Structure 1
Amino acid sequence: MRPGLAKRNNYQYVSDMQSRLTSRSVFLCFIDCSASRNAAGIVEAINKGLEMCGLKHIPVVAQSYDGASVMSGHVSGVQQRIKETHPYAVYVHCMAHKLNLVLMECCAVNRSVKTFLNVIDKLYSVFAEPSNHHRFIEMQKSLNLKQTEIIQPSETRWAYKWRSVNSVKTHYSAIIGCLREMSDEGDKWSVEASGLYAHMTRMSFITCVIVLEDILRVIHVTHKALQSSSCTLSEAAALTDNLKAHFKSQRQADTWSNMWGSVKQFCRDNNVPVPGDADVECQTPGPLAPKRKRVTKPPTSLDSFLVTTTLGQRETDESGAQMSQSDTAGYQQHLYLPVLDTLINELDRRFTGESIELARACGAVFKCQKKGIEPLVQRYAQLLKIHPLLLGAEMDLVKASAVAPVALEHLRKTVKKESYPNLYKMLQLALTLPIGSATSERSFSAMRRIRNWLRSTMGGTRFSSLAVLHIEDDITAQLSPEGIVDVYAERKKRRLLLN
């Protein structure tokens, strides 16, 4: 059972432990779906897993996958086929996956950003070579820097984008020093080192380092929060709203002024000529200096139109001239603002729909606000047998019992199943609705640890059972080994009598 040939099933529920509502996601099993990996085959595997675990007749209120068409298709995808048997199972596109799609759009906004990421990727391949890696480590020691590695940007490992940019920023001087040494004629890597040195000493690269490191750092924090197993759907919606508000506030003029000041200070700290200081421009000397390119202008037929997309030209100012190294307004207009606008627009476009409406309704439930819970009541009242009028009355009573604004901790202490049955069910629902598939995808890491080359002939049933024991280690730790031995010994006599 290899990655891609196995379907993992996770079950999220709310338990009442010591009269406290607690949300928990539990790994169920691995199901082999190698025979049929289309939507019908995957749905059959999911139903088989639910039946094996005795959950076939439990109502399903939500389902969460990534954005692959076979999973998210609204005509014949997995989520639509699941709704045929579980009509209340709303589809939630994994929030962490959606944020990664937003980030991918941001990284493809213009050529400067694409070139910047290509340079970092090439840096990784160059310094991954053992001799160059040793040279890089020695350079860090000579500069009294903390030893680190250049991390390759990745489309699937979401934290790697910020970590790769941050490693280049913090060890820029060591990287430049190594590239300068490797640029000597006759060195094996002189051609690659000369090109990378030319790119890394340009103002566009340094500006991208400062701008993208600041943006990716905030996205990295949000990504980690969205992957948390304790994060609720309402918290996920609040995180994305806060992220959009932050990027909108970054469009202010003083923010860019501070950013440009950081760019110039970074140049001074790393002995790179600062544009605008004593009329010195940040250029690569000698034959490595970039050639002057022909200026391209939009067609005159478009003079009366508002052009909202690129026409194939490189970044230019309003007059059509190429941006100079010291053109702060040009970098703001053609690099900084397009990145922010892409992030804001993609966040608005992707984080909308039914799941976001339900997320805000969950937030209203936690605050006991009757006006905001309509989406949840309309969809799930019949399934969960919730009386809307009694629900409102229970919310009024709980809200009146709170000294400060209602908090989740107060609800856990106050709301009991016997006293507030309707609100209790609504809180169960709000805590159960998933935010994504990041938690279940961690099971693939466990799968690689359990089913390695020493256990390649392990059967599917044993493998799935071992995966449950390993993944749910907090529950496994509560088991008594002596009790397990006793149960095993009581099943039948295994000792042979030898004459």
Structure 2
Amino acid sequence: MTSPMIQKDIVSACKIETVKAILDELNGDYFALLVDESFDVSRKEQMAIVFRYIDRMGFVMERLIDIVHVEDTSASSLKEAIFNLLAQHSLSPSSVRGQCYDGASNMQGEINGLKMLIRRESKSAHSIHCFAHQLQLTLVGVSKKCVEVGKLVVLISNIFNVLGSSFKRMDNLRDSQKSTIQVALDMGELTTDRGLNQQLGLSRACDTRWGSHYKSFNNFIIMFGSILEVLESLALDARSMDERAKAMGHLEACQTFEIAFMLHLMRDVLAITNELNKCLQKKEQDIANAMLLVEVAKRRFSLRSRRKLANYTILHHYRVEVFCNIIDWQLQELNDRFDEVTTDLLHGIACLNPINSFSSFDIRKVMRMAELYPDDFDESNMSILENQLASYIVDVRDVDERFSDLNGLCDLSKRLVQTKKHSNYPLVFRLVKLALLLPVATASVERAFSAMKFIKNDLRSQMSDDFFSGCLVPYLEKDVFDKISNDVIIKTFQDMKPRRIQL
């Protein structure tokens, strides 16, 4: 048991059984692919592959199947790695019914991108550009149009780099923040409770990390006094003239009206989309509800139209050229990036949504959606589906009261299985599953990359790819791994190769 080779074999056995349990949940049904790449601590490019599927109870599941090292990140190489993994588990590419990637050209390319290569194998493998990624890019789009936003992002990034480059400066920042909180508590301005008034860190913004800009701006405002205190100290005590000059420049910039105004404006603007960000990261989020949430964000920006502004007492430049423009640009970016709502596919999914007693149901739009899945609905199935839809909507909307309190497609799928109606209307249930298979965001892939930092860190930077994958899959899918008995793992370990002794 102390042998490294034996330990690695046991880890491999744990991974094998975890993946086997996941595939047992899948039960040979359709699934969607969520794929992304990231560098590990040793600068190796790792590709995480997550399956999204509907289990036997009608629940939406997203499970990490494997993380694979890829030397080449071209679309053809990624496709080969994915297809090799599918073949390894006796799965066919024709079973893929959805794809979700970021906006990289090797993923989303319209000619030779990964999504098109997979669609050549499965015409029904419709692709969705990660909603959360698109949402974050709206700020990037606005910052490229508005000089004031760009200046704010650069300034905060530079200040965080200056303060975060030294442990002493970080300690000074924490001490200052602690003192500020203690004074506020003593004066009764803050209350104590579990999870309240915790010390904040420097949250670095990233163009592709969800909600990071909102958190960055919010923390900067809360820690503003402490940040100024450390910058003042640095401007007086820094050893080099270069560091003193930078600190003084940042200190002066922070205390201008423009920066204060832009900080609060962008925090309020991003607060509107931050709630959408949080919702998109839920594993069971369905695309119909996601589009409704996007529409809510658009409506909130529309309510702040320039033609409805009150008489502000600030300068015309900030009222019109900054405030109004940023709101309009943010709304325009949301409209441009979330234009999928116009497609027949998403119109059909919206019609299946059970919210408000199936008020959006439209049999013609649902039938047009079914036509986009030629591998699942041939001519004979289409006529049967139309008849099933007519009976189904009368049943669930007018007859069976158990379907009156549903909040989305996820609830609908579970209720159909609970009431056994999935066997009464199998083609309708198939459509519901296909709608749920379309991923909203690559949240599960991002969770894998977060876990990757715990498994493969600076002290274990040279671990092999197989050992790394063997550790990561059971770690991330703990709920599946916990249900696997030790006897099953021991048997898999024994069967891997001849052993001198039996465990």
TM-score range, shorter chain: 0.7 to 0.9
Q: Distance in 2 between matches of 1:105 and 1:475?
A: 40
Name which of 392, 395, 398 aligns with 2:393: 395
> Unpaired segments of 5 or more residues in structure 1?
261-325
| Preserved CA contact (<8 Å) 2:235 2:244 | yes
Aligned to 1:136: 173
Q: Distance in 2 between matches of 1:22 and 1:246?
A: 32
**Partner amino acid, structure 2, of 1:494:** R
Q: Kindly state the Cα deviation for residue 154 of structure 1 after the two structures are TM-superposed.
A: 2.0
Which SS does the other structure have where 2:90 is aligned?
A: coil
Q: Kindly state the Cα deviation for residue 76 of structure 1 after the two structures are TM-superposed.
A: 1.4
Question: What pairs up with 1:260-279 in 2 under 5 angstroms?
Answer: none
Q: Distance in 1 between matches of 2:117 and 2:473?
A: 27
The answer to whether 1:235 aligns with 2:286 is no
Aligned to 2:431: 426
Report the CA distance shift for 1:465/1:426 in structure 2 as closer, same or farther (over 3 A): same
Name which of 155, 165, 181 aligns with 1:119: 155
Aligned to 2:472: 467
Q: Kindly state the Cα deviation for residue 360 of structure 1 after the two structures are TM-superposed.
A: 3.8
**Partner amino acid, structure 1, of 2:97:** V
Q: Bigger CA drift: 152-161 or 461-470? A: 461-470
**Partner amino acid, structure 2, of 1:401:** V
Aligned to 2:208: 156
Q: Kindly state the Cα deviation for residue 96 of structure 1 after the two structures are TM-superposed.
A: 1.1
Aligned to 1:330: 317
Aligned to 2:337: 350
Q: Kindly state the Cα deviation for residue 72 of structure 1 after the two structures are TM-superposed.
A: 0.8
Name which of 49, 53, 57 aligns with 1:13: 53
Q: Distance in 1 between matches of 2:375 and 2:448?
A: 34
**Partner amino acid, structure 2, of 1:94:** C
Report the CA distance shift for 1:453/1:53 in structure 2 as closer, same or farther (over 3 A): farther
| Preserved CA contact (<8 Å) 2:126 2:438 | no
Name which of 22, 36, 41 aligns with 2:77: 41
**Partner amino acid, structure 2, of 1:361:** G
Name which of 67, 87, 105 aligns with 1:51: 87
Question: What pairs up with 1:85-104 in 2 under 5 angstroms?
Answer: 85-104=121-140
Q: Distance in 2 between matches of 1:125 and 1:456?
A: 25
Which SS does the other structure have where 2:335 is aligned?
A: helix
| Preserved CA contact (<8 Å) 2:83 2:93 | no
Question: What pairs up with 1:38-437 in 2 under 5 angstroms?
Answer: 38-56=74-92, 58-128=94-164, 129-143=166-180, 144=183, 147-184=199-236, 189-251=243-305, 327-353=314-340, 357-367=344-354, 368=358, 369-371=361-363, 372-380=365-373, 383-384=376-377, 385=381, 387-393=384-390, 394-403=392-401, 404=404, 407-408=407-408, 409=411, 411-412=415-416, 413-414=418-419, 416-437=421-442
Identity in percent: 22
Report the CA distance shift for 1:78/1:185 in structure 2 as closer, same or farther (over 3 A): closer
Report the CA distance shift for 1:53/1:356 in structure 2 as closer, same or farther (over 3 A): farther
Aligned to 2:5: none
Q: Kindly state the Cα deviation for residue 108 of structure 1 after the two structures are TM-superposed.
A: 2.8
Q: Distance in 1 between matches of 2:167 and 2:464?
A: 40
**Which whole-Å deviations, capped at 9, do the CAs of 1:71-119 have from their partners, x for residues lacking one?**
1111111111111111111121111111111121122332221222222
Aligned to 1:290: none
Q: Distance in 1 between matches of 2:469 and 2:233?
A: 53
Q: CA RMSD in A?
A: 3.0
**Partner amino acid, structure 2, of 1:388:** L
Aligned to 1:442: 447
Q: Distance in 2 between matches of 1:455 and 1:173?
A: 39
Q: Distance in 1 between matches of 2:172 and 2:455?
A: 37
Which SS does the other structure have where 1:62 is aligned?
A: strand
CA radius of gyration, larger in = 1
Q: Distance in 1 between matches of 2:370 and 2:257?
A: 55
Report the CA distance shift for 1:186/1:83 in structure 2 as closer, same or farther (over 3 A): closer
Aligned residues: 425
**Partner amino acid, structure 1, of 2:439:** P
| Preserved CA contact (<8 Å) 2:123 2:374 | no
Whichever structure has more helix as a proportion of its residues is 2
| Preserved CA contact (<8 Å) 1:366 1:406 | no
Report the CA distance shift for 1:153/1:93 in structure 2 as closer, same or farther (over 3 A): same
Report the CA distance shift for 1:130/1:256 in structure 2 as closer, same or farther (over 3 A): farther
Report the CA distance shift for 1:374/1:150 in structure 2 as closer, same or farther (over 3 A): same
| Preserved CA contact (<8 Å) 1:90 1:355 | no
Aligned to 1:29: 66
Q: Kindly state the Cα deviation for residue 43 of structure 1 after the two structures are TM-superposed.
A: 1.3
| Preserved CA contact (<8 Å) 1:183 1:191 | yes
Q: Kindly state the Cα deviation for residue 155 of structure 1 after the two structures are TM-superposed.
A: 2.0
When the two structures are superposed, what TM-score results if normalisation uses the length of structure 1? 0.76
| Preserved CA contact (<8 Å) 1:31 1:49 | no
Q: Distance in 1 between matches of 2:500 and 2:172?
A: 63
| Preserved CA contact (<8 Å) 2:123 2:375 | no
**Which whole-Å deviations, capped at 9, do the CAs of 1:365-409 have from their partners, x for residues lacking one?**
122412442442221265244533223222222221254475444
Q: Distance in 2 between matches of 1:42 and 1:486?
A: 33
| Preserved CA contact (<8 Å) 2:94 2:122 | no
Q: Kindly state the Cα deviation for residue 357 of structure 1 after the two structures are TM-superposed.
A: 4.5
Which SS does the other structure have where 2:205 is aligned?
A: coil
Q: Distance in 2 between matches of 1:124 and 1:429?
A: 45
> Unpaired segments of 5 or more residues in structure 2?
1-37, 185-196
Q: Distance in 2 between matches of 1:184 and 1:457?
A: 44
